[in-house]
Structure 1
Amino acid sequence: MTKNVSVPEGYKKTELGVIPEDWQIVKLSEISKTYSGGTPSKSKVEYFGGNIPWVKSGELNKGLIFTTEEFISELGLNNSSVKWVPQNSILIAMYGATAGKIGLLKIRATINQAILAVVPQEDTDYLFLYYSLNQIMPNVVKTQTQGSGQPNLNAAIIKSNNVLLPPLPEQQKIASILSKVDEQIEQTEQIIEKTEVLKKGLMQKLLIKGIGHTEFKKTELGEIPEEWEIGNLSNISQVVMGQSPTGDTYNTTGEGKPLINGPSEFNERYPTPVKWTSKPTKICKIGDILFCVRGNTLGRMNFADQEYCIGRGIAAISGLKNLGDTNFVHMLLTKEGTELYRRANGEGSTFPNIKRDQLNEIKIAVPSLPEQQKIASILSKVDSQIQDNQSYLHKLQELRKGLMQDLLTGKVRVCV
């Protein structure tokens, strides 16, 4: 028997749960006008390349839409079912892989037939409705899409969904709170992006030009300091390839050594084991680089914060005593990531796999150990900034998620 849900003062019980007394449950069709667009004939070159913004469903991944990838001409507009959509309309992708994705149009633009435009009425705040639909659509895609392959929605399905609607002043206050969090998220993402660009530039410079050198020599890797030599990764590091224990030695109770089989256990810096083995095979040391050697995640790295048994999807890499700094080696591998993936996939394999010899043979410019440590220290500080901002970004995203759940359902009221 289901227990009766207690209803706090000022709230009422509804089909969507307990909500504030002064909130309404309305169909999307009651508070907005909806329509889709079209595509001009692709065979008519003169229909494209004009100055009319034309939004395609794949662009809704951007969230806020300030510009478009393609533009159409007046001829294209007048000779097709393309329609203008006003600024601050909500756009919903209806078909395929992007079904249910939502964008907020920040310009006046046109749309194709795979997008449903939702134009709110005057008594509905567009930003509040944008956040509400972001909250609703994942469940709509999960429970109401049509077709056995990729999901498909249509206008009738989307318009028939219920929306919780507070009084307009409360809508505006909720939207203001959520938009401020979104602004912080966007700013943090921009800081991370700029810092990653800075790191990439520093890596290109420091790993080839070093610190404070004035005399250089030409080599196969470009100009490097006179004191440096060209060598292989094996000159300054050692690589231990993993070997998976037999499955009958695995357990989830913490018996034996923690086991790292691949990137599914990886985090930002240190892995989180989910299995252990009572008969470990290859073991890494604390501080080793854990390097993915197989599949689409080839080149992804973590560091070992304890001894782990490493499976065949992982190599443990560390600097050689008195010759190589492990953090410097990590930076070299980061720089070489794209080339390593290309090399591992060079024989046309659909499952990239890099061998120990391929890692050892990577050509590098070799500084002295003290200079390796200085370079690694500079780049590690930039890495720490990125990690701190990524951690802050995650907290903001969790805050946004919690606020949307609380504010858009009326669980937490705002002062107006």
Structure 2
Amino acid sequence: MSKLEELINKLCPNGVEFKKIEEVCDNVFAGGTPRTSNKDYYGGNIPWLRSGEINFNIIDDAEIKITEKGLNESSAKWIKEYSVLIAMTGATVARSAVNIKRITANQSVCAMEPSEIVNYKFLYYYVESMYNNIKGMAQGALTSINLSIIKSISIPVPPLEVQCEIVRILDNFTLLSAELSAELSAELSARQKQYNFYRENLLTNDFEKNVKLKDLCDIKGRIGFRGYTRNDLVEEGQGAISFSPGNIINETINYNNCTYISWKKYEESPEIMINNGDIILCKTGSTLGKVAMVKNLPEKATLNPQLVVLKNLKCNSTYLKYIIGGYDFQYAMQAKKGLGSVPNISQKDIGNIEIRLHSPENQEKIASILDRFDKLCNDISEGLPAEIEARKKQYEYYRDKLLTFKELKDNE
């Protein structure tokens, strides 16, 4: 029997009491922002945290500093060391952290100062384990949670001896997991550099001729069509997928979090209906140049105006995907893009970019070699990324198991 089991059997054999966060903390509050137009409020030596800096981490400083005057003349306030923090809005909403030094924060950060009945690290680990549940409570266009939601979250409160033993186990597990993940990440980085080196060499050596992209495929986009409005959007299963740049990850299509449009809107543009084997290319914005080949398409699909599709390919499709993602083609796209505030390249200019073309036999060989290398470096289901993801899931499994308690009933 482990030490933890012995403690539970001795101290709380019938279960543990559950309490709301506001009941286990001396204070639960949000920060504030000194008026940004007043220069006297900024540039001091008081760390002032923003929600974007919260990412399941240990915090001992902040990117921005405010002055004593800024602190005293605003709703910002000191947060005690060893408090638990939660981001209440934005991209990091529901993510948590621990501050090991006194700090201040803006109004998008919730600070929980634990009372003597709860170990701060135990509270952190439990809030971390609740991330998806808390995020699911977010509301509004800014995806926000409020103090009332956080205060009402129920957590188990075992005896402090039990809490401390769980913290000790999770601290050790986290350390070992972090060390292994760091080793795997370093190995992955080295493999990716090696992959990029051989990829460029394979794609640029021993080619037969230069051809323009338009000679190898038909390039189709939403020319002359307006973008989607709210009325065009439908629920999954009620229309067609509309791919966006966010669906392209590591030169593959991610079918999660797709946007769906009505069948009427889908049928508006038959020339850009997507099929397996087509190549999708981003032609505008910060994602200009992202590319992927469509495989295992689950249902009918089209694309939004930020993308073009390459169809009716007259060469190996996988090979062409790697060529387009290579340095020469990407450099040519950047050179031809417009100079406006939002970078953009026309379909005509895309079609006129020249490609160094290998023989059909070499195209197939190169595609096969790079596919194997790409899986090792980028595929979340295989290779090193899969091992890193497996370690993360292992940690989450044992953490959740350790933090699961039977609730103590009033008559027990």
- Compute the TM-score of the two structures, normalised by the length of structure 2: 0.61
Partners of 1:200 and 1:354 lie apart in 2 by 31
Partners of 2:386 and 2:349 lie apart in 1 by 34
Partners of 2:23 and 2:393 lie apart in 1 by 32
Aligned to 1:184: 177
Assess, with a 3 A threshold, how the Cα gap between structure 1 residues 231 and 149 changes in structure 2: closer, same or farther.
closer
Aligned to 1:291: 280
Partners of 1:42 and 1:406 lie apart in 2 by 45
Aligned to 2:267: none
Aligned to 2:23: 30
Of 388, 398, 409, which aligns to 2:404? 409
Residues 362-377 of structure 1: matches in 2 within 5 Å?
362-366=353-357
Aligned partners of 1:284 and 1:316 also within 8 Å: no
Matched, 1:72 2:63: no
Helix, strand or coil at the partner of 2:121: helix
Q: Deviations over 1:364-385 (max 9, x none)?
A: 3446667766765664444222
Which fold has the larger relative contact order, with Cα–Cα distance below 8 Å and residues 6 or more apart in sequence? 2
Aligned to 1:172: 164
2:280 alignment partner AA: F
Aligned to 2:150: 158
Partners of 1:271 and 1:137 lie apart in 2 by 23
Residues 345-356 of structure 1: matches in 2 within 5 Å?
none
Aligned to 1:6: none
Q: Shift of residue 390 of structure 1? A: 3.1
1:88 alignment partner AA: Y
Helix, strand or coil at the partner of 1:85: coil
What is the aligned length?
355
Aligned to 1:91: 85
Q: Identity across aligned pairs (percent)?
A: 25
Partners of 1:82 and 1:44 lie apart in 2 by 15
Assess, with a 3 A threshold, how the Cα gap between structure 1 residues 382 and 63 changes in structure 2: closer, same or farther.
farther
Q: Shift of residue 55 of structure 1? A: 0.4
Q: Shift of residue 129 of structure 1? A: 0.7
Aligned to 2:323: 332
Q: Shift of residue 240 of structure 1? A: 7.8
Helix, strand or coil at the partner of 1:104: strand
Residues 260-409 of structure 1: matches in 2 within 5 Å?
262=243, 288=277, 290-291=279-280, 299-304=290-295, 311-313=301-303, 315=309, 320=314, 325-335=316-326, 359-366=350-357, 379-385=370-376, 386-387=378-379, 388=382, 389-409=384-404
Partners of 2:49 and 2:133 lie apart in 1 by 24
2:212 alignment partner AA: N
Q: Deviations over 1:184-233 (max 9, x none)?
A: 37964885588468647864x5666x369xxxxxxxxxxx8797765423
Assess, with a 3 A threshold, how the Cα gap between structure 1 residues 48 and 98 changes in structure 2: closer, same or farther.
same
1:291 alignment partner AA: I
Partners of 1:23 and 1:399 lie apart in 2 by 25
Partners of 1:383 and 1:84 lie apart in 2 by 48
Q: Shift of residue 111 of structure 1? A: 1.6
Assess, with a 3 A threshold, how the Cα gap between structure 1 residues 79 and 138 changes in structure 2: closer, same or farther.
same
Assess, with a 3 A threshold, how the Cα gap between structure 1 residues 47 and 382 changes in structure 2: closer, same or farther.
farther
Q: Deviations over 1:144-183 (max 9, x none)?
A: x7889854513x5533443211223332343455553586
Matched, 1:21 2:10: no
Assess, with a 3 A threshold, how the Cα gap between structure 1 residues 44 and 201 changes in structure 2: closer, same or farther.
farther
Partners of 1:176 and 1:123 lie apart in 2 by 17
Q: Shift of residue 301 of structure 1? A: 2.1
Q: Shift of residue 82 of structure 1? A: 3.5
Partners of 1:184 and 1:151 lie apart in 2 by 31
Q: Shift of residue 302 of structure 1? A: 4.1
Aligned partners of 1:207 and 1:332 also within 8 Å: no
Aligned partners of 2:181 and 2:391 also within 8 Å: no
Of 63, 87, 106, which aligns to 1:112? 106
Assess, with a 3 A threshold, how the Cα gap between structure 1 residues 211 and 405 changes in structure 2: closer, same or farther.
closer
Assess, with a 3 A threshold, how the Cα gap between structure 1 residues 360 and 183 changes in structure 2: closer, same or farther.
farther
Q: Shift of residue 90 of structure 1? A: 0.8
Of 208, 213, 216, which aligns to 1:233? 213
Unaligned runs of 5+ in 1: 1-9, 12-18, 213-223, 244-251, 253-258, 275-279
Aligned partners of 2:51 and 2:90 also within 8 Å: no
Q: Shift of residue 109 of structure 1? A: 2.5
Q: Shift of residue 91 of structure 1? A: 0.9
Partners of 1:194 and 1:398 lie apart in 2 by 20
Helix, strand or coil at the partner of 1:84: coil
- Compute the TM-score of the two structures, normalised by the length of structure 1: 0.60
Aligned partners of 1:54 and 1:112 also within 8 Å: yes
Query: CA RMSD for the aligned pairs?
Result: 5.4
Q: Shift of residue 39 of structure 1? A: 2.7
Q: Which stretch of the first structure deviates more once superposed, 48-57 or 76-85?
A: 76-85
